[in-house]
Structure 1
Amino acid sequence: MLPMIHRVRTAGDFARTVRSGARSGRRNVVLYAFRTSASDPSRVGFIVGKGVGNAVVRNLVKRRLRHASAEWVAVHPSGFDVVVRALPAAADADWPTLHRDFSGGVAAVLRRLERSDPPGREPMHGEGRSEYREDGR
């Protein structure tokens, strides 16, 4: 199971990861990754639209992807937000295929992120999780 602390939950975090992060596609999934502070827990979010299938099929795909992501979070406990978008082909994929697509996709997207955003770089203004100053701005 993937603990709630390791889940992307807000629309803003989904949007930031998809729009500003690195992307890697596979046959059944597209993965987006965004580097966060090393002190923030790694989080994973899922987008499984109606094109994947009915509610039963969508939930099966989400459960399988959540299990694969829990294994990944155990190895990478901090520093990344990852969004997984399931493609319609995921409805017919078995567990080993989905697991392989997730593992390969997340490895590729993190390599791409490393090339474009090396660790230790100071975030530019506006990057990272939203933080508010004491005066509320």
Structure 2
Amino acid sequence: MHLRPPATSTSENLQLQHTHMLLTPPPRAGLVVSKAVGNAVTRHSVSRKLRHILMGILPELEDGTTIVLRALAPAATATSKELERDVRTALAKIRRPKA
């Protein structure tokens, strides 16, 4: 999982904010489900489960946040609850302040 938090007040961000009249886009997410996960039916099933999980998580994220979730092969046999637990654990780990 990769998480890009909203931009901070850098000169690039200030220019971007000025250009877009200070509008911040809502959080967004992307999925990567490769052939390593399984055949097309399996990949589609994993994608649907992950999309459903992300729809519940996106409202919790700050505006302007971008998240990319890459499914690994074990996702093919995981239940929705297991996938959600794994996604939330990874998200908490990413958000943890670095020492």
Do both proteins adopt the same fold according to a TM-score greater than 0.5, normalized to the shorter chain?
yes
Once residues 5 and 60 of structure 2 are traced to their aligned partners in structure 1, the CA distance between those partners, rounded to angstroms, is 16
1:49 counterpart residue number: 34
Candidates 24, 32, 40, aligned match of 2:2 = 32
Once residues 110 and 58 of structure 1 are traced to their aligned partners in structure 2, the CA distance between those partners, rounded to angstroms, is 27
The answer on whether the counterparts of 2:6 and 2:62 sit within 8 Å (CA) in structure 1 is no
Identity, in percent, stands at 35
The answer on whether the counterparts of 2:30 and 2:68 sit within 8 Å (CA) in structure 1 is yes
CA shift digits 1:24-56 (9 cap, x unpaired): xxxxxxx11112348222111000000100111
The unaligned stretches of length 5 or more in structure 1 are: 1-30, 117-137
Count the aligned residue pairs. Answer: 84
Write the mapping of 1:68-87 to structure 2, written as runs, cut at 5 A. 68-87=53-72
Runs of 4+ in 1 over 4 A off after TM superposition: none
Question: TM-score, length-normalised on structure 2?
Answer: 0.76
Higher helix share: 2
Question: TM-score, length-normalised on structure 1?
Answer: 0.56
CA shift digits 1:78-115 (9 cap, x unpaired): 1311100000010011111011001111121122xx54
The unaligned stretches of length 5 or more in structure 2 are: 9-23
Structure of greater relative contact order (alpha carbons < 8 Å, 6+ residues apart): 2
Write the mapping of 1:106-125 to structure 2, written as runs, cut at 5 A. 106-111=91-96, 114-115=97-98
After superposition, the CA RMSD in angstroms is 1.8
